[in-house]
Amino acid sequence: MAKFKLDEVDHQILDMLIENTRTPFTDIAKKLLISAGTVHVRVKKMEEAGIIEGSSLTLDYKKLGYSFIAYVGIYLQNTSQTKFVLERINEIPYVTVAHITTGKFNIFCKVRAKDTNHAKEIIFKLDDIDGVYRTETMISLEESINDKKRLMHSIFQEL
């Protein structure tokens, strides 16, 4: 598969869409001094090339009462249980991210909870899954870096 070539206009379009996926194409066009049709065509090409995959909405979980974040490393009794355990983890809506990992843990999860008691309930649910040997939890004190654009800009400089 050939690498899709992005130019500076594509970079600027992506930059604005990452900032706010709901930015109207007409607003992007005005800022870039191009037509809205051009923006539409370029976004469509990037979607067809798989560079843009859908769009997302960012929620302020603190305002919704879910300000507690913990990361849970899961040790499995056997790696052959990974699929089964991930299926059970997927049934717990407060586990928002799960990675199969190498190293210390077999699976590494991000948990969002209301408070420490709620987090404890979630962690106990993880611990109770058949195949989980034990868990190790780290509490997030603060999300210090969450920059969606930084990596994108570094990639653009490499191209």
Tens digit of each residue's pLDDT (9 = 90 or more) over 107-141: 999 999 999 999 999 999 999 999 999 999 999 99
> For the residues of 47-101, what is the DSSP string, one character each?
HHTTSS--------TTTTT--EEEEEEEEES-GGGHHHHHHHHTT-TTEEEEEE-
- CATH number at 8-56: 1.10.10.10
Greatest Cα-to-Cα distance within the chain, rounded to the nearest angstrom: 59
Distances (CA, A) of 61 to 91, 96, 112, 113, 117: 20, 12, 8, 9, 17
pTM score, whole prediction: 0.80
pLDDT score of 116: 96
| Domain 61-140 CATH assignment equals 3.30.70.920 | yes
Which amino acid is it at 70? A
Segments in the chain below pLDDT 70: 1-3, 159
Domain ranges of the chain: 8-56, 61-140
